[in-house]
């Protein structure tokens, strides 16, 4: 007498044909156990390191990555402005990161920050996607507006973003639709958010007002000649209404690279209506050369003691970067071709960069109307900076930035004294 049977374990199907005379033989048990053990030996999940520690299922549809980064700064003032300054060391960012994909179509990211003696949630969102044409994201994340603002903090050429980013919203709570058209030649984003002040982030809202956002960015030669593949141009805009409160005025302050405030409204000013922004932006990366340019115009209604005024502000900057060790400059920073190793005389990657930018109020109405104090707040700021970055490997960066900022108005007797600051940063990505 013969008996046929099969055992399925996971994706394996093991068939057996044995006689009844050995049905009770211990060898049958051994065969079955060996089959199960063999099936178990096939990995149900994978783990390793790929820009962070990851665990994923064997089919790759679900993945969890644990990573993060730290930024430790030394800030020094070569020439002090009107405000007292303190040279100091400190963490600019301590951000562990948890991100992943579930069932192949749902991404998530949680990015807290523990620097500067407080705990904040930078990002917390879920994103659904089926192909690259449409991606829907909900939660707290970067508002898709500013070109430099949308760069990850670990990718920016200078350790601090330039003057146009001061007019751009940072992170907000909302919903956005992203996507790519024409095989990545065109990127688009549309979103609705609670609304935040310029250069600010928020976790909630103080009114029913909302902010609409739209951005289109194109790389017209993305599938063309290699020399032009990383030429990109775009436009973006925000449009919405804001009504601040004394506790949350939604009235911005503007700061230098060294985080010194050079403009602020008087304490009782609040946002009282329409707030819109427009931006023109572009970059070019070809071999070791990188160029980034951005212009932002912002218009905001502000109120003071029952009166209102329209604050109109313009900001722009240009950044030029050169990787002197020959690696490619990219929007995602620099990856050294040969990591630092004294035994082989490899130094990693080194780049140098320069930038110039301006931020200015279009007219003096908010100063004449008492919304801002011209003896404390500057009507215009201009900055010139230079930096040197060393990348021993892709996880470590050492940066040295120097920037000179000078002003129009902002002091009791004319122009605010200029400021020159030096920032040294050690950045680790894990």
User: What pLDDT was estimated at residue 383?
Assistant: 97
3-state DSSP assignment of residue 163: helix
What is the model's pLDDT at position 361? 97
Q: How far apart are CA 321 and CA 375, in angstroms?
A: 36
Q: How far apart are CA 388 and CA 340, in angstroms?
A: 16
* Residue 56 scores a pLDDT above 90: yes
Given a cut of 80, is residue 3 above it in pLDDT?
no
Q: Which residues, in sequence order, are CB contacts of 41 under 8 Å at separation 6+? A: none
pLDDT single digits (tens) 150-183: 999 999 999 999 999 999 999 999 999 999 999 8
- Cα–Cα distance measured from residue 300 to residue 167, given in angstroms and rounded to the nearest whole number: 11
Distance CA(127)–CA(129), nearest Å, equals: 7
Q: Is the pLDDT of residue 296 over 50?
A: yes
> Can you tell me whether residue 38 is helix, strand or coil?
helix
Handedness of CA 100, 102, 108, 113 (dihedral sign): negative
Range with lowest mean pLDDT among 203-212, 388-397, 421-430: 203-212
CA–centroid distance for 320 within its chain? 20
Closest CA to 190 of 126, 242, 137: 137
Residue 33 has pLDDT above 80, yes or no: no
pLDDT, tens digit, 9 for 90 and up, residues 379-409: 999 999 999 999 999 999 999 999 999 999 9
Domains and CATH numbers, the chain: 1-42 (no CATH), 43-429 (2.40.160.10)
pLDDT, residue 206, reads: 80
User: Which pLDDT value is given to residue 132?
Assistant: 85
Buried b / exposed e across 38-72, counting CB within 10 Å, b at 16+?
Answer: ebeeeeeeeeeeeebebebbeeeebbbbebbbbbb
What's the pLDDT at 272? 94
Share above pLDDT 70 across residues of the chain, in percent, rounded to a whole number: 88
Is a pLDDT exceeding 50 seen at residue 24? no
pLDDT band at 51 (very low <50, low <70, confident <90, very high): confident
Q: Nearest CA to 249 among 326, 290, 301?
A: 301
pLDDT confidence of residue 50:
82
The mean pLDDT of 304-309, rounded to a whole number, is 92
| Mean local confidence (pLDDT), 142-154 | 97
> What pLDDT, on the 0 to 100 scale, is given for residue 48?
87
Q: Which two tokens stand for residue 36?
A: 């199960």
pLDDT on residue 77: 92
Q: Which residue has the tokens 């990127």?
A: 187
- Residues paired with residue 396 on neighbouring β-strands, in sequence order: 393, 428
Band of pLDDT at residue 306, cut at 50, 70 and 90: confident
pLDDT band of residue 5 (cuts 50, 70, 90) is very low
pLDDT at 84: 65
pLDDT of 79 reads 66
What is the per-residue pLDDT across 76-133, written as a single tens digit (0 to 9) for each?
998 655 556 789 999 999 999 999 999 999 999 999 999 988 999 999 999 999 888 9
CA distance linking residue 257 with residue 74, whole number of Å: 13
Three-state secondary structure call for residue 182? coil
Q: What pLDDT is stored for residue 83 in this prediction?
A: 59
Q: Is the pLDDT of residue 36 over 80?
A: no
Q: Who has greater pLDDT, 120 or 16?
A: 120
> Do residues 166 and 359 lie in contact, with contact meaning Cβ atoms separated by under 8 Å?
yes
The mean-pLDDT minimum among 20-29, 234-243, 414-423 falls in: 20-29
Q: Has residue 315 got a pLDDT over 80?
A: yes
Mean of the per-residue pLDDT values of the chain: 89
Spell out the residues 6+ positions from residue 396 whose beta carbon is closer than 8 angstroms to its own: 426, 427, 428, 429
């Amino acid at each position: 007498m013969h008996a046929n049977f099969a055992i399925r374990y996971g994706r394996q199907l093991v068939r057996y044909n044995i006689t009844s005379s050995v049905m009770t033989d211990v060898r049958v048990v051994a065969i079955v156990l060996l089959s199960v053990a063999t099936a178990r030996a096939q990995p149900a999940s994978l783990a390793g390191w790929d820009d962070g520690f990851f665990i994923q299922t064997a089919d790759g549809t679900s993945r969890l990555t644990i990573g993060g980064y730290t930024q430790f700064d030394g800030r020094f003032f070569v020439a002090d402005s009107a405000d007292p300054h303190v040279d100091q060391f400190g963490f600019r960012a301590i951000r562990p990161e948890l991100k992943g994909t579930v069932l192949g179509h749902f991404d998530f990211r949680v990015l807290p920050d523990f620097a500067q003696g407080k705990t904040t949630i930078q990002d917390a969102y879920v994103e659904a996607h089926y192909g690259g044409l449409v991606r829907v994201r909900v939660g707290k994340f970067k508002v898709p507006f500013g070109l430099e603002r949308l760069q990850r903090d670990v990718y920016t050429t200078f350790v601090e973003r330039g003057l146009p980013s001061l007019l751009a919203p940072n992170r907000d709570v909302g919903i956005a639709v992203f996507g790519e058209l024409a095989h990545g030649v065109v990127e688009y984003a549309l979103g609705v958010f609670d609304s935040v002040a310029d250069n600010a982030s928020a976790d909630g809202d103080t009114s029913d007002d909302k902010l609409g956002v739209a951005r289109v960015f194109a790389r017209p030669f993305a599938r063309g000649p290699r020399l032009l593949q990383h030429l990109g141009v775009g436009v973006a805009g925000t449009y919405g209404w804001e009504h601040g409160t004394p506790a949350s005025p939604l009235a911005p302050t503007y700061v230098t690279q060294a985080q010194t405030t050079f403009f602020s409204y008087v304490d009782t000013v609040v946002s009282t209506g329409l707030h819109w922004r427009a931006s023109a932006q572009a970059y070019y990366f070809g071999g070791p050369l990188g160029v980034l340019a951005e212009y932002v115009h912002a218009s905001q209604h502000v109120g003071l003691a029952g009166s209102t005024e329209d604050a109109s502000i313009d900001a722009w900057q240009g950044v030029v970067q050169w990787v002197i060790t020959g690696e490619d400059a990219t929007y995602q920073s620099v990856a050294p071709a040969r990591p630092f190793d004294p035994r082989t005389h490899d130094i990693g990657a080194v780049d140098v960069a320069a930038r110039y930018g301006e931020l200015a109020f279009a007219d003096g109405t908010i100063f004449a109307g008492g919304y801002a104090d011209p003896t404390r707040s500057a009507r215009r700021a201009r900055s010139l900076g230079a930096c040197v970055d060393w990348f021993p490997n892709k996880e470590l960066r050492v940066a040295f930035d120097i920037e000179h900022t000078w002003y129009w108005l902002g002091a009791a007797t004319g122009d605010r004294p200029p400021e020159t600051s030096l920032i040294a940063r050690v950045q680790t990505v894990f």
